């Protein structure tokens, strides 16, 4: 049983690494140009699924920061979605908000 759990854990780590490699290119592209709110939403949806991973969360935050002023309603939705999905006691997470500064980033 312990060996099987270890194997599953390794597979999860590999999936997260592969996701990071794929999403890194997409995030760099989206952050280098102006995209539509629909395109932004699609990318954030995908990133949100893996946002428990520290490196993917950093990509998520980068996209949110890049488009905060262009699409504030969209970014607010995805910050709240992150909190709802990952910010509980049983989830792995890094704080997305800074309590000292206006609660965002």
Q: Is the pLDDT of residue 69 over 90?
A: yes
Q: Is the pLDDT of residue 98 over 70?
A: no
Question: Other C-beta atoms within 10 Å of 95: how many?
Answer: 10
Render pLDDT for 44-63 as a digit per residue (tens, 0 to 9): 999 999 999 999 999 999 99
Q: What is the pTM of this model?
A: 0.79
DSSP state of 38: H
Q: Is residue 96 part of a domain?
A: no
Domain hosting 71: range is 2-86
Q: Is residue 98 part of a domain?
A: no
Q: Can you tell me the distance from the alpha carbon of 45 to that of 87, in angstroms, rounded to the nearest whole number?
A: 16
Q: What pLDDT, on the 0 to 100 scale, is given for residue 87?
A: 80
Q: Is residue 91 part of a domain?
A: no
Q: Is residue 104 part of a domain?
A: no
Length of the chain (residues): 105
What domain count does the chain have? 1
Q: Is residue 105 part of a domain?
A: no
Cβ atoms 82, 51 nearer than 8 A: yes
Mean pLDDT across 23-40: 97
Give the torsion through C-alpha atoms of 93, 94, 98, 103, to 10 deg.
-30
Q: Is residue 99 part of a domain?
A: no
Question: Which one, of 29, 95, 91, 92, lies nearest residue 66 by Cα?
Answer: 29
Q: Is residue 94 part of a domain?
A: no
Q: Is residue 22 part of a domain?
A: yes
């Amino acid at each position: 049983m312990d060996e099987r759990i270890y194997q599953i854990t390794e597979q999860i780590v590999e999936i997260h690494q592969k996701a990071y490699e794929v999403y890194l290119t997409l995030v760099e592209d989206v952050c280098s140009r102006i995209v539509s709110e629909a395109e932004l939403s699609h990318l954030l949806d995908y990133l949100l699924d893996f946002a428990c991973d520290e490196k993917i969360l950093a990509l998520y935050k980068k996209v949110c920061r890049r488009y905060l002023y262009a699409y504030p309603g969209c970014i607010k939705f995805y910050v709240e979605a992150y909190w709802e999905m990952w910010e509980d006691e049983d989830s792995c997470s890094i704080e997305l908000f800074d309590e000292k500064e206006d609660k965002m980033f």
